[in-house]
Amino acid sequence: MKPVYILNDNMITSLGFTTAENILAIKKGTIGIRTVNDPLLYPNPVPVSIVNDDLLNERLGEALADHHKTSPSDAFTRLEKFFIISIHDVLKNSPVEKGDPRTLLVISTTKGNIDLLEDRFKSKFSHKRLYLWELGRVIQQFFGFVNMPVIVSNACISGVLAIIISARFLQSGAFDHAVVAGGDIATEFVISGFQSFQALSPDPCKPFDLNRTGLSLGEGCGSIVLSIHPDTSRTPLVRVSGASVSNDANHISGPSRTGEELSWAINQAMEQARVSPREISYISAHGTATLFNDEMESKALENCELSNVPVNSFKGYWGHTLGAAGIIESVATISTLRSNYLYRSAGFDTLGVPSPLRVITTNRPGEVNACLKTASGFGGCNAAIIYQKD
Amino acid sequence: MGATLPLFIRKINMDRIITAYSHITENKVIVNDRLIFYQENIVNFADFVKIVYKQEMINYPRFYKMDAISKLGFLAVELVLKEKTIAGYRPEAVGVIMSNSSSSLDTDIAHNETIKDRSSYFPSPSVFVYTLPNIIIGEVCIKNKIKGENAFLISEAFNGKLLCDYADELFDNKRVEACLCGWVEVMGNNCNALVALVETADRSADSSGSGFKPMLFNAENMNFIMKRN
Amino acid sequence: MDELILKLKKEVIEQLNLEETTPDDIDPDSPLFGEGLGLDSIDALELIVLLEKNYGIKIEDPKDGKKIFFSIRSMAEYITEHQK
């Protein structure tokens, strides 16, 4: 099968607007989750990782200027701004032509422009903008991509699944390049829903920790350029070497009690990548910090003989960013791979899951050649992907 | 629109066939070319799916807990699997790829109603959980013990080509041996669901005795079924 | 108490969409979870919303739910004790 390479990436979170800004903040140990007291977001104060609006508009202005666009910044929804800034950044330094019919655009989001259901936006944007394909069309037309975007909305695995779908379409020979972007914003819609599930932690989330009390929500966006043509000017080359998706067939919101189905996806991905558990040198887990998710993941990793591999969850830094999560966490994973430097799992102190895990507690150098990224979500879905140095 | 649909190039695989399908629209249900339900004066989606559910004598109390789109998708899949069982496959060998236009917007609006009024603020977990389109895949997997590949894709209108191209990739690389592919759309009282069971020719021998002639699985046939009924 | 029990049965049936269940089908002393009504973790969360919405009773610790939602009778008793 054709190798699929990662050419370029970007991520936007409360910690920064580029991959480099975010990685620098992680190195410094900055936590982006803060208690926000904003009645437009939720009636009560709630810990959440929020991107600063002034900075967002400033970065948007730069992107608009670079594209010689005269459209006013308020012509775009908040989420569209995220996507425009992120995709603009990955395209800036990549050889990929947007107008090339061999370039595919794939968008991942769980809720899209869901804030437009709020009364305050009703007069500003048409109802049509609530449709995810319309969000996709706005982005496609802004950049001038030739092909209609493929839009993936598959709960919390959306981001990882979007990368998997892109890689598969590249491998099948249908396209040469893919720009995969995923984003979601923090809204009252989502916060109130997770709150009704009693899933939100009163403090910044603590993945895999004994004292974890639930997840923290965040917002963000990430973009990755995939290609069947390696960019030899940027070494080490990183490629997607295996991927798989599974379903628990157990419960629509609660994860599998055994982790067997996530294990199956991980094993399939490793088999496809032709790597053994011993060759995996780092795992970027889903790690939402809910009681049952983290339990399930620990069991799944043990089933796959991966308990001894250094593992972290990036959600301790910027929370659960839903449709962006799989992309931005992949970007951070790829950064780990490129730099041979492992990042501490923020919020973690004492192991509190039924199966052993080697959670990374301090930033440190460590050689990484092949690594695993996983995701699991509502609807019982699981996804696993292997990134590897060439 | 100035944009073309993605151009996918692959050789047509003669071995992949639609062994059963169902197509549900506002007041009409077609299974394997047979009209199994039609009623002139149905205006209410909730009544419609309940009548069909009862007519088909499906006994699954969870059905009543589902939101509109999950009810519709669940029903469409049940009708297909009544015609052609997937019991012979390993749970991991069966995939589910679904698509629609409005994601979960119908239920999103319902959740939004619960948080509009600060003096009566009662978001409901059983509504919120359905504000993701792939929950329909979860429901179908739970009912039928399916554990394989999943994907929920969004497009403005039914895109048989995208579904087929992705399903073909899964078959080509042996990620699935059978796959449920379809479209499940609900907005208010308007609905449209098309679900096809796709299998390889060698595994489809025990086809239904209903006289349905399996069709080649390709975009033309998927679009044809969608438009014809 | 009997009046409250009947009212609760009706509310639970409606809130949890137990479409084919009637109040007579529910024994007020039988466990709500596990076998029987086939309730799950989302139903448990939904019962917390029901108490708050219909009776103004807020359960701060979901762990208390196990005792409160053991049966229709335990729910009724909790409501009688805690309603202002």
- CATH number of the structural domain spanning residue C75: 1.10.1200.10
Residue A96 and residue A185 in one domain: yes
Question: Which residues of chain C have a CB within 8 Å of the CB of A253?
Answer: 41-42
Answer yes or no: is A185 within a domain: yes
DSSP letter, residue C25: G
How many domains in chain A?
Answer: 2
Mean pLDDT (whole number) for B49-56: 95
Residue A242 and residue A196 in one domain: no
**List of chains touching B (3+ CB pairs within 8 A):** A, C
**Alpha-carbon distance C6 to A305, whole Å?**
53
How many domains in chain C?
Answer: 1
Residue A79 and residue A127 in one domain: yes
Please report where in the chains the tokens 């800034």 appear, as a residue.
A85
Residue B3 has pLDDT above 80, yes or no: no
Better-predicted residue by pLDDT, A351 or C35: A351
Contact A198 C40 (CB under 8 A): no
Which residue, A349, A369, A180, is CA-closest to A279?
A369
Strand B190-200 versus strand A33-36 pairing type: unpaired
Looking at residue A227, its amino acid is S
Q: Nearest by CB to B4, from A134, A147, A245: name it.
A: A147
Q: For residues B168, B173, B175 and B176, what is the CA-based torsion angle, rounded to 10 degrees?
A: 50
Distances (CA, A) of A172 to A202, A379, B169: 46, 28, 7
For chain B, the average pLDDT equals: 92
Residue A160 and residue A242 in one domain: no
Mean pLDDT (whole number) for B144-166: 98
Q: What is the CATH number of the domain that holds A157?
A: 3.40.47.10
Residue A313 and residue A365 in one domain: yes
Full residue range of the structural domain in which residue A43 is found? 4-227
Residue A63 and residue A34 in one domain: yes
Q: Mutating which of A195, A196, A296 best tests the C interface, going by the most C Cβ atoms within 10 A?
A: A196
Chain C closest CA to A374's CA: distance in Å?
25
**Alpha-carbon distance A348 to A384, whole Å?**
23
With an 8 Å Cβ cutoff, is B156 touching chain A? yes
Residue B31's beta-bridge partner residues? B22, B34
Give the pLDDT score at B138.
98
Contact A251 C49 (CB under 8 A): no
A223's tokens: 């973009």
Residues of chain C above pLDDT 90, percent: 77
Full residue range of the structural domain in which residue C38 is found? 2-19+30-82
Give the pLDDT score at B209.
56
Q: Which residues of A touch C (CB under 8 A)?
A: 196-198, 251-254
Residue A61 and residue A126 in one domain: yes
CB A224 within 8 A of CB A90: yes
Question: Which residues of chain A have a CB within 8 Å of the CB of B139?
Answer: 252
Chain B closest CA to A239's CA: distance in Å?
18
Give the pLDDT score at C84.
66
SS (H, E, C) chain B: CCCECCCCCCCCCCCEEEEEEEEEECCEEEECCEEEEECCCCCCHHHHHHHHHHHCCCCCHHHHHCCHHHHHHHHHHHHHHHHCCCCCCCHHHEEEEEEECCCCHHHHHHHHHHCCCHHHCCCCHHHHCCCCCCHHHHHHHHHHCCCCCEEEEECCCCCHHHHHHHHHHHHHCCCCCEEEEEEEEEECCEEEEEEEEEEEHHHCCCCCCCCCCCEECCHHHHHHHHHHC
Answer yes or no: is A133 within a domain: yes
CB A5 within 8 A of CB A239: yes
Looking at residue B212, its amino acid is F
The domains of chain B, with CATH numbers, are: 16-228 (3.40.47.10)
DSSP letter, residue A13: B
Give the pLDDT score at B228.
87
Q: Nearest by CB to A151, from B114, B138, B155: name it.
A: B155
Quick one: pLDDT band at residue B205, thresholds 50, 70, 90? low
Closest chain C residue by Cα to residue B119? C53
Helices marked H in A93-218 — which ranges?
119-122, 132-143, 158-171, 188-196
Residue B5 has pLDDT above 70, yes or no: no
Tens of each residue's pLDDT in chain A, 390 residues: 689 999 999 999 999 999 999 999 999 999 999 999 999 999 999 999 999 999 999 999 999 999 888 888 889 999 999 999 999 999 997 889 889 999 999 999 999 999 999 999 999 999 999 999 999 999 999 999 999 999 999 999 999 999 999 999 999 999 999 999 999 999 999 999 999 999 999 999 999 999 999 999 999 999 999 999 999 988 899 999 999 999 999 999 999 999 999 999 999 999 999 999 999 999 999 999 999 999 999 999 999 999 999 999 999 999 999 999 999 999 999 999 999 999 999 999 999 999 999 999 999 999 999 999 999 999 999 999 999 999
Answer yes or no: is A17 within a domain: yes
- pTM: predicted TM-score of the whole model, two decimal places: 0.96
Q: Which residues of C touch A (CB under 8 A)?
A: 40-42, 45, 48-49, 62
Answer yes or no: is A233 within a domain: no
CB A101 within 8 A of CB A26: no
Give the pLDDT score at B207.
53
Residue A205 and residue A251 in one domain: no
**Alpha-carbon distance B186 to B193, whole Å?**
8
**Alpha-carbon distance A117 to A136, whole Å?**
18
B170's tokens: 């899964």
Q: What angle do CA B108, B152, B100 make, to 5 degrees?
A: 60
B156's tokens: 């403005």
Answer yes or no: is C24 within a domain: no
Contact A198 C42 (CB under 8 A): no
**Alpha-carbon distance A111 to A183, whole Å?**
9
Residue B1 has pLDDT above 50, yes or no: no
> End of a domain among A178, A195, A227?
A227
Residue A197 and residue A265 in one domain: no
Better-predicted residue by pLDDT, A360 or C36: A360
Residue B148 has pLDDT above 90, yes or no: yes
Residue C35 has pLDDT above 90, yes or no: no
Question: With 0-12 CB in 10 A as exposed, 13-18 as middle and 19+ as buried, what is A71?
Answer: exposed
Residue A103 and residue A77 in one domain: yes
Cis peptide before A255 (omega within 30 of 0): no
Residue A204 and residue A279 in one domain: no
Q: What are the φ and ψ backbone dihedral angles of B101, each rounded to 5 degrees?
A: -100, -40
Q: What angle do CA A154, A158, A161 make, to 5 degrees?
A: 105
> End of a domain among A176, A197, A227?
A227
Residue B13 has pLDDT above 90, yes or no: no
A16's tokens: 């920064």
Contact C62 A254 (CB under 8 A): no
Quick one: pLDDT band at residue B7, thresholds 50, 70, 90? very low
Residue A29 and residue A81 in one domain: yes
Looking at residue A114, its amino acid is I
